[in-house]
Structure 1
Amino acid sequence: MAPATSPEWAGPWIEHLADAAGLRERPPRAQRQWNHIVAAAGADCRDALKRAGARFQSLPDTEKPNKKGCGIPHGVLLSRGPTGIVYSPPLQVDCSLALRLADMERVIQEEAEAHLSSQIVRINTLGSYACREVVGRMRPWSEGLSEHSFGNAFDIARFSPKRGRAISVLRDYVLHGEDPSTREGRFLRGVSRRLRAEGAAARVLGPDFDASHRDHLHIDCGTPRWY
């Protein structure tokens, strides 16, 4: 009789449980973050991004993080996303994150049509790649480096529709617990909820999370907290 074997899906879960139980030594979180982003996209990522309709400039590949632990493995400087949204300033991110913009922008455009009766044509960002530590509420348990340090996050301050005034996170975001009374508030609520719920992003942190996010939506595709 052949020995019993675990199903293929069991391996990762066994590893996660072993990590959580402290049964094996894990590398520092910064190394796990780096490993995650390196494995997030294949060699054909930039070709796939081009086919998706994005406008971008390829940046030199980075084989290993710098002395501070930061770097973008497969960087791009993206000025326009797959649905035609212009990013100002352009996003300096890993190709794997840029490729996920197709799903993010789909959500954004659907919510814009539903609440603003117009498509979004421009997104003003507060930053993408930056070699820095986590700030705010996440700092005590984050073990240090932000997902921005790997080109795996960007911050949105404002959405500009084709018709009508721009939507500002600082001005128009309505904290959870209150029902937004404006179409701008409903748009922001819908975007932040759906990006998480539909898996387009791993995390969306906004004014509800802490004061350091009062004027923007932080979006990243990093690892879960416990991994």
Structure 2
Amino acid sequence: MIETAVILAAGEGSRLRASAPYKPLCPVAGRPLIAHALEGLAEAGIRRAIVTLSYGRDAIEAYLASRSWPLHVETVLADHREPNGVSVLAATDALAGQDAVLAMCDHLVLPALYRRMATAGSGNGLRLGIDRRLGHPWVDPEDVTCVATNGSAIVAIGKGLEPHDAYDTGVFAISPRLGAALATLASPSLTEGVRMLAAENRAETVDCSDIDWIDVDDAAALAHAERWMSQAA
């Protein structure tokens, strides 16, 4: 089972600016998104989290330092002006060749999803948690990353992809092969890295359609997340 996680938390989060100056500190049901991620990962059995930061770094690091966390937390510097693959690469040295659970700070998920991906492992390159509940009311069809599959293999991935048969939940199990692929790109996006591994038959999926999650990327999604968390309490 994988015991290390990388949390991408470097983005600017402009669509949530009215709710919080920095997206990782945006509260949902009384806790910042970064706290939901760290505590959920710990509950799933993860022992170490590498958080990639850029926009709002000082404020987020101060928050992280102000709390005692149930897992070891460290930070690395990325660049929010660059594609998100740069954030993955920023964690490469800290990973030192280890596999990791890769998670998005703004994706609120149940710990069971993290646990499933940590248990599944990275396979021959990477595995992505997918949701086959197309048309789910929590999913923004204009913003979600779509996935086309053949069995468990990823055939294609991208926003606006047609046809598709699944959504990207934003939780991966990754090996150093992803970083190696991203390092060859002039402008490395995570999606492009997945495409590269898919072309080599090194990108698989894990069906997580039975586990709820939401990408808290704007005010509408934040409202959905608040209702979900209040009902789950």
Decide which structure has the larger Cα Rg and report it. 1
TM-score range, shorter chain: under 0.3
Instruction: Point out which structure has higher relative CO (alpha carbons under 8 A, 6+ apart).
Output: 2
TM-score under structure 1 normalisation? 0.28
